[in-house]
Chain A
Amino acid sequence: MKIGGAAGQGIQTIGTVLSKTFLRDGFHVFGSQFYLSRVRGGHNFFQIRVSDHPVQAIKEELDILVALDEASITQHLEEVQDGFVVADEAAVNDTTPENVISIPFVDIAKEVSGNKLFSNTVAVGAVFGILCYDLSCLNTLLSEIFEKKGEEIIEKNIAAAKAGYDYVQDGKFKGVCKFDLTPNPVDGRILIDGNDAVGFGALAAGVQLVSSYPMTPSTGVMTFVAKYADRFNAIVEQAEDEVAALNMAIGASFAGVRAMTTTSGGGFCLMTEALGLAGMTETPVVVFLSQRPGPATGLPTMTEQADLQFALHAAQGEIPRCILAPRTPRDAFYQTMRAFNIADKYQIPVILMSDQYLADALFTYENFDLSHVTIERHLLSDRELKKMGDYRRYEITDSGISPRALPGQAGVLVVADSDEHNEEGHIDQTIENRIRMNEKRLRKLDGLKEDMQLPIIHGLENADISLIGWGSTFGPLAEAVDILNEDEVSINLVHFSDIYPLHEGDIGLLMDGLNHTVCVENNATGQFAQLLRTELGFEVSDKILRYDGLPFTPKSIIRELEEKEVV
C-alpha cells in the first residue's frame, strides 16, 4: 500500500503506525519513503509491503492507495491494480475517477475527536477498515505512542481510528473483505531502518563521539545516537562544518575514544583533507557516507550509489582505507560494529557507505543477536607500556600496524604528525624514511584483505547468469533472482558488502567461476564494475544502471534483463 500526500501532512506517522501494527501482529513488513527537499508541501509518499514471509523490496503494484493530496491520485492511480483508493475529500475534484472513494478525514476527526490533527489516525483506521482488520493491536500501539500526552489524547486517537474504520465498514466496503490478513502476534520482532541500524551499531560498538554537520540522508544516524548518548556515555557534537566534524572526530579518537562522523556526498567532499589526516596520522575513525545523487547539491532526498569511486580515491596521496557497504539494516548493524573494530585494528579510516534508500527503508527482523557484539580496541595497557621501554608511535612492523598508546598514559608521550614523520612521530623528510613509512602504512592492506568477507551468493549455485551488486541493492536483486528462479531461469546474485580492499585470491577465484555476469548499480557509469576491473582484472558481461534518483525494484531489474535479452 502507499500513503501519499504533502510534506507536513503526517505521512510518515501514518506509515510508521501501520507498519508497527502489522509487525506486532506477526507480519513481515517492508517500508520505504520518497520525499522532497522541503519542510511543507510537495508530493511525498510512504510505501508499505506486508507479507507472511520476509520481504526486502518494494513492489510496483498497489493494493491500497491512501491519497491525502491530489498528486497522490494523478501520480499513483495507475499503480493500483484491482485495489482500493481512498482519498481525503480535499484531494478529490470533478475529474477524479469514479473508483476513488473520498473520505472526509478532517470532518470525521473534528467530529469524534474535536481536532483536525486526528485526521491521520482516521486514515489509519480507514485502511484497517478496508482490510477488515482487528483494531486491538493498533489501540495498544496508540496508547504507547501517546502515553506521555495523557489519557485524553490516547482516547481521542482510539476514537479517531474507530471512526475511520466504521466509515469504511459502514459505507461502500460493507461486507467486502478482499484481503485475508489474520494476525498471529509474535514476540521479539523488530522494525528498523538503515539509519537507525547504523546508529544502533555505533552505540553497540561503544562510539563516544559523533561530530557531524547535518546532511540528508545521513542525519538520522546522528539523531539516533544523540537520543541515547547520555545512556551510552557518548557526546554528539554538531560541528560548524564537515571539515571540523571529521577533524574533531580524529582528535577524539587520537585521545582514545571511538569516534565517527556522518555525512553525505557534498559533506564528504569537505572531509577529504581530514580523511588523509586520519590515514597519515594512523588515527582510527569511522566515516558514515550516506549517498544521494550528485553532483553538487544534486537530488538531495533521492537515492544513488555514485560516490564509490570518490570514496575509493578521496584525499591526496595514497592511504590505506577500508570501505564497507551494508546490504540491509541488519547488515548495517553488524557492519557498523565491524567498521569500528577494523578502524582500531589497522588504525585507518573506515568508510561505511549507505544511501537514501537504505537510510529510510524499514525492514522486519527477529531480534539482533547481541552476543555477537565484540569491542576490540587494540590499545596498549599501562602494564604493556612499562615492559616496552622506549615507545614509538610509528614503530615499523611487518604488519604495518604500530603499537598504539594514548596521550595521558603515564610514562609515555604520543607524537602524531600529518607531515611525513619518523618512528617517533617527528617530521622527517629524508628519502629513506619516506619510503619506509609509506610502505609501512600501505602494508596494512595486506592484513586487511585477509579480514575482508566474501560476497554472498543468493539463488541457484553455478547459475548461467550472475547478477553482481553491492550495498543497498541487495533486497530488490535477491527478490528478482527468486522470481526468476521460480520461472526456472538459471540465475543467481553475487552481492558485495565488503567493498575495499578486495582479496584478489579468494574473490578472484570466486569471480572466475561465474558465467554471464550483469553488474547492477544505482549509478550511470558502473563504478563497482570499474573496481572489479582495476582490482581483479575482472570484466563484467553486462551492466544495468539506474540513475534517475530512484531505487531498483525487483520488477525493474527483470524488465531490464528481458530488454537486454539476458533472460
Chain B
Amino acid sequence: MVTLDDYKAGDTEWCPGCGNFSILAAVKKALVSLDKEPHEVLMVSGIGQSGKLPHYLKCNTFNGLHGRTLPPATGAKLANPELTVIAVGGDGDSYGEGGNHFIHALRRNPDITLIAHDNQIYGLTKGQASPTSEPGMKTKIQTHGVINTPFNPLAVAISLGCTFVSRGFAGDIEHLSSLIAEAVEHPGFSLVDILQPCISFNKLNTYSWYKERVYKLEDEGYDPTDRIKAFEKTLEWGERIPTGVFYKHDSTSFESKQPVLEKGPLVKQKYDPEELIDVMKSFM
C-alpha cells in the first residue's frame, strides 16, 4: 500500500499561507488514494511557484521551461504510456506562455492531467496581470487596470472537446484531492483549474473572497455529461463561482489512437534490422 510518507520530500520555498501548500497536499492525497507508486508517476512542470511543486514530492520529475509543460509531458506519455503523467503549471504558464500548447494538447487528448494553479496574478515576477486576471485589477504594469478579457480555460477546454473539465479550490483540500484523483483516472486529457489565492500579490481574489462565492456543482444535482450546459456553467463568474466537474465524457486518448502503441510502450519496442534491407530496396 502506498502511503503519504512515500511521497514525502524536503522543505518548500513558498510563502507561508500560499495556496500551493493545499494543492501539494491534495496531489499527494490523490496519488495515495489511487495507490500509485512514486516510480510510476511523472510530474512535468513549467516555471513559476507552481513549477516547483514536483520538487516537493518524491516521484519522477521533469521541471522544464516556462509555458512548455505540455509538450514534454506529451512526448513522455507517447514514449511510455505506462507512466502516470501529471502536468503542473500556473495561469501564466498554462494559458499565457503556453496557450498554444494548451489548445493543441486539448486537440490531441493525451492521457495527461493538467493541474493549473490559477491565482490570476504573476507571483514570481511580483504582481503583474495574468491571462485570467479580473478586468479593472490595477497593478504596477496595468496602472489603469486590466483592460483585456480574461482567458476562460474551462470554456476553451469544452469548446475544443476536452472530455474532463473541472475546477477546484485551494481552500478545500478534500474536494480538490477527489477532483485530482478522478482527473488522473480519466483516460484522456483532464483539466483541473484551481482557484488559488496569492496572498502576496492578489489582494482581490482572496480566501475570503472565494469562500463567499464558490459552491460545488455536485451539491446542486448538476449533470456533467451535458456539453452545452457545461459551457453555460463556465460563463458563471461573480456572485457565485462553480467548482467540481463541469464536463465529463468517455474518451479515447491520443496514445490509444496510435497503432504502434498497441504492441506496448515505445520504450519496450525495438525494430527488426531486416526491415532496413527492405527500405534500401526502395532506393533501387
Identify A241's interface contact among B54, B65, B100, CB under 8 A.
B100
Q: Is the CB of B65 within 8 A of A247?
A: yes
Q: Is the CB of B55 within 8 A of A209?
A: no
Interface 1/0 per residue, B244-270 and A, CB below 8 Å: 000000000000001111010011011
B82 close to A (CB within 8 Å): yes
Cβ of B77 to closest chain A Cβ, rounded Å: 8
Contacts of B104 in A (CB 8 A): 239-240, 244
Q: How far is the CA of A233 from the CA of B55 in the complex (A)?
A: 33
A257 close to B (CB within 8 Å): yes
Cβ of B102 to closest chain A Cβ, rounded Å: 10
Q: How far is the CA of A274 from the CA of B72 in the complex (A)?
A: 10
B279 close to A (CB within 8 Å): yes
Q: Is the CB of B71 within 8 A of A239?
A: yes
B137 close to A (CB within 8 Å): no
Q: Is the CB of A209 within 8 A of B42?
A: no
Q: Is the CB of B64 within 8 A of A192?
A: no
B167 close to A (CB within 8 Å): no
Contacts of B275 in A (CB 8 A): 203, 228, 231-232
The segment out of A65-73, A339-347, A405-413 that lies at the interface is A405-413
B237 close to A (CB within 8 Å): no
B36 close to A (CB within 8 Å): no
Q: Is the CB of B276 within 8 A of A248?
A: no
Identify A232's interface contact among B68, B75, B259, B271, CB under 8 A.
B271
Q: A191-B283, A244-B101, A277-B65 are in contact. Are A233 and B60 (CB under 8 A)?
A: no
Q: A209-B266, A248-B71, A407-B60 are in contact. Are A228 and B279 (CB under 8 A)?
A: yes
Q: Is the CB of B39 within 8 A of A237?
A: no
Q: Which of B58, B100, B275, B279 has the most CB of A within 10 A?
A: B279
Q: Is the CB of B283 within 8 A of A259?
A: no
Q: How far is the CA of A204 from the CA of B39 in the complex (A)?
A: 31
Q: How many residues of A contact B (CB 8 A)?
A: 67
Contacts of B101 in A (CB 8 A): 240, 243-244
The segment out of A111-119, A365-373, A528-536, A537-545 that lies at the interface is A365-373
Cβ of A472 to closest chain B Cβ, rounded Å: 19
Contacts of A200 in B (CB 8 A): 276, 279-280
Contacts of A414 in B (CB 8 A): 60-61
Q: Is the CB of A373 within 8 A of B276?
A: yes
Q: A251-B72, A370-B273 are in contact. Are A233 and B62 (CB under 8 A)?
A: no
Q: Is the CB of A257 within 8 A of B61?
A: no
Name B61's closest neighbour in chain A (CB-CB): A415
Interface 1/0 per residue, B43-81 and A, CB below 8 Å: 010010000101100111111110010111111111110
Identify B62's interface contact among A231, A240, A244, A254, CB under 8 A.
A254
A418 close to B (CB within 8 Å): yes
Contacts of A373 in B (CB 8 A): 273, 276
A426 close to B (CB within 8 Å): yes
Considering the complex, which residues of chain B in the window 93-111 have a beta carbon less than 8 Å from any beta carbon of chain A? 100-101, 103-104
B284 close to A (CB within 8 Å): yes
Contacts of B47 in A (CB 8 A): 418
Contacts of B61 in A (CB 8 A): 413-417, 425
Q: Is the CB of B280 within 8 A of A252?
A: no
Contacts of A257 in B (CB 8 A): 79-80, 266-267
Cβ of B23 to closest chain A Cβ, rounded Å: 18
B38 close to A (CB within 8 Å): yes
Considering the complex, which residues of chain A in the window 1-60 have a beta carbon less than 8 Å from any beta carbon of chain B? 23-24
Q: Is the CB of A413 within 8 A of B79?
A: no
A446 close to B (CB within 8 Å): no
**6 cross-chain CB contacts under 8 A:** A203-B276, A231-B275, A243-B71, A251-B73, A256-B266, A259-B79
Ranked 6 nearest A-B pairs via Cβ: A251-B75, A251-B72, A407-B60, A247-B71, A252-B75, A190-B283
Q: A240-B100, A413-B59, A414-B60 are in contact. List 14 more A-B contacts (CB 8 A).
A: A24-B284, A208-B266, A231-B271, A231-B275, A243-B100, A244-B68, A247-B75, A251-B74, A252-B78, A252-B79, A255-B79, A407-B76, A407-B80, A410-B39
Listed in ascending order, the chain A residues whose CB lies under 8 Å from chain B are: 23-24, 188-192, 196, 200, 203-204, 206, 208-209, 211, 228-235, 237, 239-241, 243-245, 247-257, 259, 273-274, 277, 281, 367-368, 370, 373, 406-419, 425-427
